[in-house]
A and B are shown apart, each in its own frame.
Chain A
Amino acid sequence: MTAPNVVSSKLDHGAVRKSKVGPMARREARLAVGMLAPTLVMVFSIVLFPLLANLWISVKPVSLAELRRPAPIVSERVRGDLDVAGTELKIQYRLRNSSQSAEISGVTMSDTLPAGLTFTRADDRCSISGRRIDCVFGTLEGGFREQIEAFAISDAAFAANPISPRDSKPMLTGDASNVLTNLEFTWDNYRRVFDATEFWTVFWVTISYTIFGTLGAMVLGLFAAQLLNTEFRGRAILRGLFLFPYVAPVIAVAFTWIILLDPFSGTLNAILQRMEVTDAPINFLGQRAVELRFLGLTFDFPLALSTVIIFEAWRYFPLSFLFILARMQSISSDMYEAAEVDGATPFQTFWHISLPQLLGILSTLFLLRFIWTFNKFDDIFLLTGGAAGTRTLTVDVYEQGFALANLGAGAAVAVVIFIMLVLFATTYLRFVHREEG
């Protein structure tokens, strides 16, 4: 083989590869990008950008009140008789900084009086010329508040037909750094979130809520699917009914549960007392723990947490139920018939035939529901507000960011949540990969 040949074969190869991305394919790719662009832009700006913004906010000292950018505010007052010519009017400008802590730099103010009024004298920081006043204040400290005075004299034409000088609003300028975009950083938020012994309580509450909530919903779902896996009259109605808890708005069912479980006037407590199950009403959502004695051992049973877990299981069993039922109905009946012929009992059939067939959907469902239960905020927030030992990480975001008005700390918790989610998602992808492979 000679050298030129090698070169030409390389060239051929290149030509073949190039022809694969021909003008048609390129047009198709361009079209695809065009069709996806709106979605991508939207998802980037509303989902991915905030995710990254959390990292930024979590290292910034931002409180809820500081979100509004600090600005100079002025109110104007006039003292003196407007309708008597030649009287000296006193004009007061009350200037203040809207923020208690942040400073505003380069503050200036200018104002023009109505025709017929002339400034006579004014504060040192202001210059006057006829009807116009210009003041330069420089930097206003946080919490700045001062009264600036100026005097003006009126002529006869004005006194005959006076116009309030307040009708022309003073013009203000001033620069304040935006708390979100300035370059002030701090680790305080993370320190605050992690230093509190509360954090680990919150962490373990989140984990147990997630695990038991997911398992509860799946066990109920499996049971319900097993019930509806046979043909009978009224089956469609029951299937619709079983989906109610999921379809109804969370706001409606959460408040209903609160009223149902109310210790003083709730139906459930009244029923339990009527049936003589308990003597005193149980505060299902407000009591952190009850002492249980079992085999001579006493231990604290987390009551409120168990109640929100039961709510979670109640509200989301319909989803697991739909998935498991769909999978059950696709299992071929041959296997069951064969088992029946071989003399397998119902429990054996369930354990050795149904369950192995359902294992795939059950594990996928577990992973997805695990992530979604971990993400859940509305349910606990509405039921207990995170009180009585039910504060999960998601509720903590709200607690830190809005109830305690420290956005930075809230964002720090959100970052913790995000890191854990990345871990879960990696597990999920690896798992799904293995399933497919």
Chain B
Amino acid sequence: MRYGNGFILGVLSGALWGLIATTLAGISITLVTGLAATPVLAAGLLAGTASAGTVLMRPRVQRTQPAYISAFFVTIVVFLLTSFAEPFSQSLAVAPLQQAIAILVVCGAITLANATCLHDVEAGMIKRYAVEVLLTRVFKGLGFVFFTVIVVLPFYVMIMTSLKSQQALLLNPLDLSIDLTKSPRELLNSYIELFTQFNFGRFLLISAIVSATTVIITLLFSIPGAYAVARLRFRGRGLMSQSILLVYMVPAIVLVIPLYAVFSQLGLRNTIIGLLIVYPATTVPVALYMLQGYFRGLPPELEEAGLMDGLGRIGVIWKITLPLSLPALASVSLYVFMIAWNEFLFAFMFLDNPNIFTLPRGVVSLNSSEIPRQHLMAGAVIATVPILIIFLWFERFLVQGLTAGSVKG
């Protein structure tokens, strides 16, 4: 058996996985259990190297399940030995169950990563093609880890912080575990206070009403407009469909000062009506643009048949075009709902009266030094959960909506 660059690269990739798995495990243990767990990175590195070496020493045909199982045991042994049986700088007697799970997960992850990356890598000299295949696998693996961490970490911190108490947070900012000895009432204390003392039930309701009304108004305006642009011939039609896109490149902040000034003088500023005038105006161009694209894709013969059979234009739209465009309508509605639900700037500038706050405005009002920050995070969770549930439920439609209209953001 000859050893060449294949072996070196394979072992290096194993070392990298060892390092990453140990680091992540250390952070996870700390965040989940609250233990001061500093992983021994050198041990992880060596364990990963040994694991990769075990895999690579076998010829390719022999790399079957037993080979990986033996690699797994080699990983565990090396990991424990090189860290002097304290892989997370804690005696194994402290939280033995969690540590055991962590060790198994780390070594399992290392073995799995090596199995995925190295299953067909020769230990001898390998060609550029095989080198790049290996590198691609390593990059992809790193990518999955990287993206998952950067997306999950903030949301995890958001949820866990909202369940803690002020003292616990100051005592150990790394301890984001759930204290299961507490009653659910204590755990959810921030939420209970937000709903009972800070009026968040009302904010939730107002946000829902404002968003739903915005969707309805937007559809009422954009459906006829989109139909006209897509189907009817009139002068300036080309200009219309082009300039719609330009309108939605106008930033809200540029509109804020004039609208603030005029709405103040008209007495519309500190009202829900004011918001319901501004929100649809910013969403109608997007909705119109998305819908006209969809209407154009519908076969015009169906509508012509309707016209021949004596329907008027309104009848055609109501009985033929709209039923065919339900997926597009769903996408547009969800997208507009999301924009209105998340809207911050106008709500912040216009609303002073706590009785008519929308959720984002309510959450901003929690950002003060007098209010503990687990309340702020609980507010953030309350604002996030409904829109994420809607998103996951209708993901297909929303993704369509996003790709069709949402270079905007």
Q: Determine if B234 and A32 form an interchain contact, defined as CB atoms under 8 angstroms apart.
A: yes
A31 CB contact (under 8 Å) in B228, B256, B364: B228
The stretch from B77-85, B93-101, B169-177 touching chain A is B169-177
Q: Determine if B253 and A397 form an interchain contact, defined as CB atoms under 8 angstroms apart.
A: yes
Q: Determine if B407 and A372 form an interchain contact, defined as CB atoms under 8 angstroms apart.
A: yes
Contact mask for chain B residues 357-383; partner A; CB cutoff 8 A; 1 contact, 0 none: 001100110010000010011011101
Given A180-B261, A247-B388, A249-B360, also A259-B373 (CB < 8 A): yes
* Given A36-B240, A323-B407, A429-B242, 4 additional A-B pairs, CB 8 A: A54-B257, A252-B384, A346-B133, A375-B253
B367 (CB) vs chain A CBs: closest residue: A255
- Give, as a whole number of angstroms, the nearest-CB distance from A60 to chain B: 10
A87 interface residue per 8 A CB criterion = no
B161 interface residue per 8 A CB criterion = yes
Q: How far is the CA of A374 from the CA of B249 in the complex (A)?
A: 10
Residues of A within 8 A of B407 (CB): 319, 323, 365, 368-369, 372
Q: Determine if A227 and B147 form an interchain contact, defined as CB atoms under 8 angstroms apart.
A: yes
B73 interface residue per 8 A CB criterion = no
Q: How far is the CA of A259 from the CA of B379 in the complex (A)?
A: 13
Residues of B within 8 A of A39 (CB): 221-222, 224-225, 284-285, 288
Q: Determine if B380 and A251 form an interchain contact, defined as CB atoms under 8 angstroms apart.
A: yes
Interface SS majority for chain A: helix
B198 interface residue per 8 A CB criterion = no
Q: Which of A144-181 contact B (CB under 8 A)?
A: 178, 180
Residues of A within 8 A of B381 (CB): 252
Residues of A within 8 A of B178 (CB): none
Residues of B within 8 A of A274 (CB): 26, 30, 36, 38, 174
Given A25-B233, A42-B281, A407-B257, also A32-B228 (CB < 8 A): yes
Q: Which of B133, B251, B278, B406 has the most CB of A within 10 A?
A: B251
Residues of A within 8 A of B313 (CB): 31
Contact mask for chain B residues 382-406; partner A; CB cutoff 8 A; 1 contact, 0 none: 0110011001100100110011001
A240 CB contact (under 8 Å) in B147, B288, B392: B392
Q: Determine if B228 and A249 form an interchain contact, defined as CB atoms under 8 angstroms apart.
A: no
B258 interface residue per 8 A CB criterion = yes
Q: How far is the CA of A433 from the CA of B352 in the complex (A)?
A: 45
User: Interface residue tally of chain B, by bracket?
Assistant: 35 or more
- Give, as a whole number of angstroms, the nearest-CB distance from B231 to chain A: 9
Given A252-B363, A255-B363, also A425-B402 (CB < 8 A): no
Contact mask for chain B residues 6-46; partner A; CB cutoff 8 A; 1 contact, 0 none: 00000000000000000100110011000010100000000
B224 CB contact (under 8 Å) in A38, A48, A421: A38
Q: Determine if B261 and A62 form an interchain contact, defined as CB atoms under 8 angstroms apart.
A: yes
Instruction: How many A-B residue pairs have C-beta atoms within 8 angstroms? Tell me.
Output: 295
Q: Which of A222-244 contact B (CB under 8 A)?
A: 223-224, 226-227, 236, 238-244
Q: How far is the CA of A297 from the CA of B193 in the complex (A)?
A: 54
- Give, as a whole number of angstroms, the nearest-CB distance from A349 to chain B: 9
Residues of B within 8 A of A429 (CB): 242, 246
5 residue pairs of the A-B complex, CB under 8 angstroms, read A326-B403, A347-B132, A347-B135, A378-B345, A394-B253
Q: How far is the CA of A243 from the CA of B155 in the complex (A)?
A: 12
Q: Determine if A245 and B264 form an interchain contact, defined as CB atoms under 8 angstroms apart.
A: no
Q: Determine if B158 and A36 form an interchain contact, defined as CB atoms under 8 angstroms apart.
A: no
Residues of B within 8 A of A28 (CB): 232-234
Q: How far is the CA of A374 from the CA of B254 in the complex (A)?
A: 12
Residues of A within 8 A of B154 (CB): 245, 253, 256-257, 260
Given A28-B234, A251-B363, A270-B174, also A51-B250 (CB < 8 A): yes
Which residues of A does B touch, CB under 8 Å?
25, 28-29, 31-33, 35-36, 38-39, 42-43, 45-51, 53-54, 57, 62, 67-69, 178, 180, 223-224, 226-227, 236, 238-253, 255-257, 259-260, 262, 265-267, 269-271, 274-276, 314, 316, 319, 322-323, 326, 343, 345-347, 365, 368-369, 371-372, 374-378, 382, 394, 397-398, 401-402, 407, 410-411, 414, 417-418, 421, 424-425, 429
Q: Determine if B151 and A33 form an interchain contact, defined as CB atoms under 8 angstroms apart.
A: no
Residues of A within 8 A of B280 (CB): 42
Residues of B within 8 A of A49 (CB): 258
Residues of B within 8 A of A180 (CB): 261-262, 265
Q: Determine if B251 and A394 form an interchain contact, defined as CB atoms under 8 angstroms apart.
A: yes
A397 CB contact (under 8 Å) in B31, B174, B257, B360: B257
Q: Determine if B259 and A345 form an interchain contact, defined as CB atoms under 8 angstroms apart.
A: no
Q: Determine if A323 and B261 form an interchain contact, defined as CB atoms under 8 angstroms apart.
A: no
B132 CB contact (under 8 Å) in A47, A51, A323, A345: A345
A348 (CB) vs chain B CBs: closest residue: B132
Q: How far is the CA of A223 from the CA of B23 in the complex (A)?
A: 23
Q: How far is the CA of A347 from the CA of B258 in the complex (A)?
A: 52
Q: Which of B101-145 contact A (CB under 8 A)?
A: 128-129, 132-133, 135-136, 140, 143-144
B227 CB contact (under 8 Å) in A35, A46, A240: A35
B277 interface residue per 8 A CB criterion = yes
B157 interface residue per 8 A CB criterion = yes
The stretch from B54-62, B297-305, B320-328, B336-344 touching chain A is B336-344
Q: Determine if A31 and B259 form an interchain contact, defined as CB atoms under 8 angstroms apart.
A: no
Q: Determine if A266 and B257 form an interchain contact, defined as CB atoms under 8 angstroms apart.
A: no
B182 interface residue per 8 A CB criterion = no
Q: How far is the CA of A226 from the CA of B174 in the complex (A)?
A: 33
B235 (CB) vs chain A CBs: closest residue: A29
- Give, as a whole number of angstroms, the nearest-CB distance from B40 to chain A: 12
Q: Determine if B173 and A36 form an interchain contact, defined as CB atoms under 8 angstroms apart.
A: no
B69 interface residue per 8 A CB criterion = no
Q: Determine if A43 and B254 form an interchain contact, defined as CB atoms under 8 angstroms apart.
A: no
A320 (CB) vs chain B CBs: closest residue: B407
Given A67-B264, A247-B388, A421-B251, also A241-B148 (CB < 8 A): yes
Residues of B within 8 A of A369 (CB): 407
Q: Which of B132, B220, B285, B379 has the most CB of A within 10 A?
A: B132
Q: Determine if B252 and A377 form an interchain contact, defined as CB atoms under 8 angstroms apart.
A: yes
Residues of A within 8 A of B2 (CB): none
B153 interface residue per 8 A CB criterion = yes
Q: How far is the CA of A402 from the CA of B261 in the complex (A)?
A: 11
- Give, as a whole number of angstroms, the nearest-CB distance from A391 to chain B: 13
Q: Which of A39, A227, A239, A374 has the most CB of B within 10 A?
A: A39
B1 interface residue per 8 A CB criterion = no
